[in-house]
């Protein structure tokens, strides 16, 4: 039997690209979204539609989903993975950086949910997976605004899970610890980047994006009546 459609945001690098490869290998058709279209196309995954969508644009998000559903049938899984982390001390950081993180990490997740939820509720099935962070459960130095966005992702997911449980729609929060990706490179302070790298080294390095992707596929692959509400995955030595 053919597998259902999965939508993955932020599929152009890191965890999102790894999730795309794992779900493709499991036989799913995919809608891959990111701003860097050439990077999602370069994955060259079979049965995949690649669209340049900024998750902050709800219209473009919904249009891409409509287009993919015409090709592959209803969305069964939405993986809200797109995110940005701009570390900084609150008295030094620009409000533009706070805004960008809240727009992408919080509004982007809500935009995705809004684009798929009515149809999932109507057909009584589907899975929404939000990639949050351990920084959505505890705080870290220079993470205040980022933690604010990720605590929000945890809270929104848990609230939504309660709201849609009766409709048999699952809501899963994935909370990775340190993962080796491009994420840190967008922080402007060299000092903060160096401190973060030293912290990673002190625990023997970060885990791989593939590790998070395998855990995400595991959570999705449970029977529809089994919901892994939260999955925390981190380097063994991370505190």
Residues that bind ligand NDP (CB under 6 A): 9-10, 12-16, 34-36, 39, 54-56, 81-85, 104, 131, 133, 176, 178-179, 181-183
**Which residues are within 8 A (CB) of 185 and not within 5 positions of it... i.e. 6 or more apart?**
193
CB of 227 to ligand NDP, least distance (A): 21
What is the C-alpha separation between 220 and 226, in angstroms, rounded? 9
CB of 83 to ligand NDP, least distance (A): 2
SS3 218: helix
CB of 150 to ligand NDP, least distance (A): 7
Cβ–Cβ under 8 Å, residues 5 and 75: yes
146 is catalytic: yes
Q: Which entry of 72, 146, 196, 220 is annotated as an active-site residue?
A: 146
Nearer to ligand NDP, 67 or 73 (CB): 67
Nearer to ligand NDP, 79 or 169 (CB): 79
**Which residues are within 8 A (CB) of 192 and not within 5 positions of it... i.e. 6 or more apart?**
87, 88, 142
**Which residues are within 8 A (CB) of 21 and not within 5 positions of it... i.e. 6 or more apart?**
43, 45, 210, 213
Nearer to ligand NDP, 70 or 185 (CB): 185
CB of 122 to ligand NDP, least distance (A): 27
Characterise 171 by phi-psi region: left (phi > 0), alpha (psi -120 to 50), beta (else).
Answer: beta
Structure tokens given for 158: 């848990």
Nearer to ligand NDP, 39 or 62 (CB): 39
Please give the positions annotated as active site. 146
């Amino acid at each position: 039997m053919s597998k259902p459609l999965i939508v993955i945001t932020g599929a152009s690098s890191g965890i999102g690209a790894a999730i795309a490869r794992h779900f493709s290998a499991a036989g799913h058709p995919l809608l891959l979204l990111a701003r860097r279209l050439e990077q999602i196309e370069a994955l060259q995954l079979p049965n995949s539609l690649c669209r340049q969508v900024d998750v902050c644009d709800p219209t473009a998000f919904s249009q891409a989903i409509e287009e993919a559903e015409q090709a592959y049938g209803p969305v069964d899984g939405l993986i809200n993975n797109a995110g940005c982390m701009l570390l900084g001390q609150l008295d030094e950081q620009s409000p533009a950086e706070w805004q960008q993180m809240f727009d992408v990490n919080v509004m982007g997740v809500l935009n995705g949910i809004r684009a798929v939820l009515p149809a999932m509720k109507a057909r009584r099935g589907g899975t929404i997976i939000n990639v949050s962070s351990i920084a959505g459960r505890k705080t870290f130095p220079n993470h205040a605004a980022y933690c604010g966005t990720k605590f929000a992702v945890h809270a929104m997911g848990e609230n939504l899970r309660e709201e849609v449980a009766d409709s048999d729609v699952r809501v899963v929060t994935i909370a990775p610890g340190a993962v080796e990706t491009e994420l840190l490179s967008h922080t402007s302070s060299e000092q903060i980047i160096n401190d973060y790298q030293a912290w990673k080294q002190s625990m023997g390095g970060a885990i791989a994006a593939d590790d998070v992707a395998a855990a995400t596929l595991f959570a999705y692959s449970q029977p529809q009546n089994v919901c892994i509400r939260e999955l925390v995955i981190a380097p063994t030595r991370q505190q």
